[in-house]
Amino acid sequence: MKRAFIALKISLTKESEKIFIEIKSKLKGEKINWVDNQNMHITLFFLGETEEKQISEIGRKLQDIVREIKPFVFICKGLGVFKNINDPRVIWIGIKKSDDLNFLKQKVDMLMHNFGFEIESHNFKPHLTLGRIKHVKNKAILAELIEKYSEYTFQDVSVNEGIFYESILTSQGAIYKKIQTFKMNAEI
- Count how many domains the chain has: 1
Whether residue 143 is contained in a domain is answered as: yes
Rounded to whole angstroms, the Cα distance separating 114 from 71 reads 24
Rounded to whole angstroms, the Cα distance separating 20 from 93 reads 10
- Given a contact cutoff of 8 angstroms between Cβ atoms, the answer to whether 168 and 177 are in contact is yes
Task: State mean pLDDT over 69-93.
Answer: 97
Whether residue 89 is contained in a domain is answered as: yes
**What is the phi/psi pair of residue 178, to 5°?**
-65, 130
**Predicted local confidence at residue 134, as pLDDT:** 95
> What is residue 69's three-state secondary structure?
coil
Active-site choice (113, 122, 127, 135): 127
Whether residue 74 is contained in a domain is answered as: yes
> Domain range spanning residue 22?
2-183
28 CB-near residues (< 8 Å, 6+ apart): none
DSSP code of residue 38: G
Whether residue 188 is contained in a domain is answered as: no
Interval 139-159: pLDDT, tens: 999 999 999 999 999 999 999
0.85 cut: is pTM over it? yes
Active-site choice (41, 113, 122, 135): 41
Is 127 in the active site?
Answer: yes
Give the closest residue to 71 by CA, choosing from 16, 8, 142. 8
Whether residue 91 is contained in a domain is answered as: yes
The CATH number for 70's domain is: 3.90.1140.10
Q: Where are the alpha helices (DSSP H) in the chain?
A: 14-26, 52-66, 99-114, 139-149
**Predicted local confidence at residue 52, as pLDDT:** 94
**Predicted local confidence at residue 187, as pLDDT:** 83
Task: State mean pLDDT over 87-108.
Answer: 97
127 CB-near residues (< 8 Å, 6+ apart): 42, 80, 82, 90, 92, 93, 94, 95
Band of residue 174 on the pLDDT scale cut at 50, 70, 90: confident
- Given a contact cutoff of 8 angstroms between Cβ atoms, the answer to whether 85 and 17 are in contact is no
